[in-house]
Amino acid sequence: MAAKTLHFLLIPHIGPGHTIPMIDMAKLLAKQPNLTVTIATTPLNAARYAPTLPSPIRFLHLPFPTAEAGLPEGCESTDQIPSTDFIPNFLAAIDMLQQKLEERYETLNPPPNCIISDKYMSWTGDFADKYHIPRIMFDGMSCFNELCYNNLYASKVFDEMSESEPFVVPGLPDKIELTRNQLPPEFNPSSVDTSGFRQRARDAEVRAYGVVINSFEELECEYVSEYKKLRGGKVWCIGPLSLCDGNNDDSVKSRRGNVAAIDERQCVKWLDSHEPGSVVYACFGSLVRLNTPQLIELGLGLEASNRPFIWVVKSVHREKEVEEWLAESGFEERVKDRGLIIRGWAPQVLILSHPSVGGFLTHCGWNSTLESVCSGVPMITWPQFAEQFINEKLVVQVLGIGFGVGADSVVHVGEEDRFGVKVKSESVTKAIERVMGDGVEGAETRERAKELGIIARNAINEGGSSHLNLTLLIQDIMHLANASC
Ligand code: UDP
């Protein structure tokens, strides 16, 4: 008898940090025998990510109701929201996508056997129930993070605390201390009220059949096992998803939904001209926008490290003043022999996988964190918002593959100008030195990062834990599909 073909429908949240790993997941799934994949997303996002996808993966276009929601034309992704004033409109538009998908459901032929949807596409919970399709949640985070969130929701331990008083997150294998003002917006709201949206996401999360995680079991064994207990075993760690392309060419590694602001060959040539492990790579993901004084401190910290560096500057609204500082202060001239500034989108995976990179100054977004792990690069951690302070705890305290610059509280998206300088240049330089310098702690940190990089790459290869988990996930869905026939 011919094997049944399964159809997976993937519904990513529309923002780079959420869409990129789901695009990688689509590639991974599409490589499996007897499995077809459709990605439901808005037309502009489909166009943005399609060039990196192999042809068997189909897109189902869900028109984004920009006008209806009062958004500027072309605003179809979190990194395109012009100001925080538009966040409520954007979230409303996301919820309207349920109707768009229902109107097009009949075109999905054969109907999907499984939906994998982002946590923040909470309407997919009702949609899946209506059409009787098992739904797996993807949250783009680690099991460590999922457990922290869960235990924070359950205990509300922070309720009695002042903003800066440390408390221990209950029920974790390690003693993890946080303060209230380091928590994500679910527990530490920003000035924009997103509580309804987040509560719906939480409700849909709890109802999901299971969870796929962009992580690998060896990275966080105890946390995976605890989280599995919590979710009745239906947790599949199938990452690191950024390795789904294997040894693909440099242009695939660099695009990830954007055209790099630097020629890839020029970038590699520059890296080739430096010693192995000598370069600091500084990049804060797709959404962080430091205020200008803070950005200057970061630049001065990199300069004072006396090491070669690549600095990814995304100044957006502050372009004029940042450019003035780079030129008029003489910064760019002073560092021209050892500093490469990329204005805009960097080919991050390409850079991190180059042997010259010896440390990653990161905001601790989960994708960036995992990409660093994959390349065996230790981190200099500077979390900004969302769950990034929790990721920092995993990197610094649990895994011992980085040191922090000493950031002590979140700067929510769009609230950068409420603060001045929170981290001084000396703290940046000091943390770089701890990770990349001659001291014993740096050497040990680098060694641990290198070892984890090897384990990460093995996890996704045939015989590895993530490879096995992907097979188990597909078997589980196959079982459900056969039972419903
Ligand atoms: N990224 C990139 N070039 C950039 C900035 C980001 O390729 O200049 C990619 C990065 O490799 C990662 C994603 O965008 O895959 C950012 O996700 P992350 O979770 O690290 O941070 P977020 O952007 O969600 O804050």
Lookup: tokens for 152: 């924070």
Question: 348 CB under 6 A from ligand 1?
Answer: yes
Q: What is the pLDDT of residues 142-160, one digit of tens each?
A: 999 999 999 999 999 999 8
Q: Is 287 in the pocket of ligand 1 (CB under 6 A)?
A: yes
Counting ligand 1 atoms within 8 A of each CB, the residue from 142, 254, 368 with the most, and so the one to mutate, is: 368
**Omega prior to 21 cis, within 30 of 0:** no
What's the pLDDT at 252? 65
Give CA separation, 390 vs 148, 400, 432, 474, in Å. Answer: 8, 14, 20, 30
Contact by Cβ (8 Å): 205, 145: no
Please enumerate in sequence order all residues whose Cβ is within 8 A of that of 115, keeping only pairs 6 or more positions apart, or say none. 8, 9, 10, 11, 124, 127, 128, 133, 134, 135, 136
- From first CA to last CA, the distance across the chain in angstroms is 15
Tell whether ligand 1 has an atom less than 6 A from the beta carbon of residue 284. Answer: no
Centre of ligand 1 to C-alpha 285, Å, is: 4
Domains of the chain and any CATH numbers:
6-243+458-483 (3.40.50.2000), 260-457 (3.40.50.2000)
CA of 27 to the centre of ligand 1 (A): 18
Q: Residue 448: its pLDDT value, please?
A: 98
Could you give the ipTM of this predicted complex? Answer: 1.00
Q: Is 368 in the pocket of ligand 1 (CB under 6 A)?
A: yes
User: Which pLDDT tens digit goes with each residue over 309-324?
Assistant: 999 999 777 889 999 9
pLDDT on residue 251: 64
Instruction: Tell me the chain's radius of gyration from C-alpha atoms.
Output: 22
66 C-beta closer than 6 A to ligand 1: no
- Is there a contact between 257 and 19 (Cβ–Cβ < 8 Å)? yes
Q: What is the pLDDT along the chain (485 residues), one digit of tens a residue?
A: 567 899 999 999 999 999 999 999 999 999 999 999 999 999 999 999 998 888 789 999 999 999 999 999 999 999 999 999 999 999 999 999 999 999 999 999 999 999 999 999 999 999 999 999 999 999 999 999 999 999 999 999 999 899 999 999 999 999 999 999 999 999 999 999 999 999 999 999 999 999 999 999 999 999 999 999 999 999 999 999 999 976 566 666 667 888 899 999 999 999 999 999 999 999 999 999 999 999 999 999 999 999 999 999 997 778 899 999 999 999 999 999 999 999 999 999 999 999 999 999 999 999 999 999 999 999 999 999 999 999 999 999 999 999 999 999 999 988 998 999 999 999 999 999 999 999 999 999 999 999 999 999 999 999 999 999 999 999 999 999 999 87
Q: Which of 242, 245, 258, 286 to mutate to test the pocket of ligand 1 (most atoms within 8 A of CB)?
A: 286
**Rounded distance from Cα 345 to ligand 1 centre (Å):** 9
Tell which atom from ligand 1 comes closest to the C-alpha of 256: 7
Q: How many A from CA of 214 to the centre of ligand 1?
A: 14
Residue 347 Cα to ligand 1 middle (Å): 10
Q: Is the CB of 215 under 6 A from ligand 1?
A: no
Q: Give me the pLDDT at residue 56, please.
A: 85
Q: Is the peptide bond before 166 cis (omega within 30 degrees of 0)?
A: no
Check residue 52 and give its pLDDT: 82
Q: Which atom of ligand 1 is nearest to the CA of 312?
A: 8
Closest residue by CA, ligand 1 atom 15: 367
Distance of CA 435 to the CA centre of its chain: 22
Judge if the beta carbon of residue 281 lies within 6 A of ligand 1.
no
Cα of 102 vs centre of ligand 1, distance in Å, is 31
Q: Distance of CA 437 to CAs 46, 159, 272, Å?
A: 44, 40, 21
| Nearest atom in ligand 1 to 364's CA | 20
For ligand 1, whether the C-beta of 366 sits within 6 Å is yes
The pLDDT of residue 430: 98
Distance 405 CA to ligand 1 centre (A): 20
Q: Please tell me if the CB atom of residue 120 comes closer than 6 angstroms to any atom of ligand 1.
A: no
pLDDT at 429: 98
Kindly report the CA angle at 434 between 429 and 436, in degrees rounded to 5? 90
Beta bridge pairs of residue 59: 39
Instruction: Give yes or no for a contact between 63 and 43, defined as CB atoms under 8 angstroms apart.
Output: yes
How many other CB atoms sit within 10 Å of the CB of residue 229?
11
* pLDDT (0 to 100) of residue 78: 95
pLDDT of residue 259: 87
- Partners of 40 in the beta sheet? 60
Measure the CA–CA gap between 100 and 111, rounded to whole angstroms.
16
Q: How far is the CA of 286 from the centre of ligand 1 (A)?
A: 5
Check pocket membership of 345 for ligand 1, CB cut-off 6 A: yes
Q: What is the 3-state secondary structure (H, E, C) of the chain?
A: CCCCCEEEEEECCCCHHHHHHHHHHHHHHHCCCCEEEEEEECHHHHHHHHHHCCCCCEEEECCCCHHHHCCCCCCCCHHHCCCHHHHHHHHHHHHCHHHHHHHHHHHCCCCCCEEEEECCCCCHHHHHHHHCCCEEEECCCCHHHHHHHHHHHHHCHHHHCCCCCCEECCCCCCCCEECHHHCCCCCCCCCCCCHHHHHHHHHHHHHCCEEEECCCHHHCHHHHHHHHHHCCCCEEECCCHHHCCCCCCHHHHHHCCCCCCCCHHHHHHHHHCCCCCCEEEEECCCCCCCCHHHHHHHHHHHHHCCCCEEEEECCHHHHHHHHHHHHHCCHHHHCCCCEEEEECCCCHHHHHCCCCEEEEEECCCHHHHHHHHHCCCCEEECCCCCCHHHHHHHHHHHCCCEEECCCCCCCCCCCHHHCCCCCCHHHHHHHHHHHHCCCHHHHHHHHHHHHHHHHHHHHHCCCCHHHHHHHHHHHHHHHHHHHHC
- Which amino acid residue places its CA nearest to atom 7 of ligand 1? 348
Q: Ligand 1, closest atom to CA 17?
A: 24
Whether ligand 1 lies within 6 angstroms of the CB of 358 is answered as: no
> How many C-beta atoms lie closer than 10 Å to residue 300's C-beta?
17
CA distance to 4, 27, 98, 134, 443, per residue, from 481 (Å): 9, 22, 23, 9, 51
Strand partners, 58: 38
For a ligand 1 pocket test, name from 256, 258, 311, 372 the mutation site with the most ligand atoms within 8 angstroms of its C-beta.
Answer: 256
What pLDDT is recorded for position 253? 62
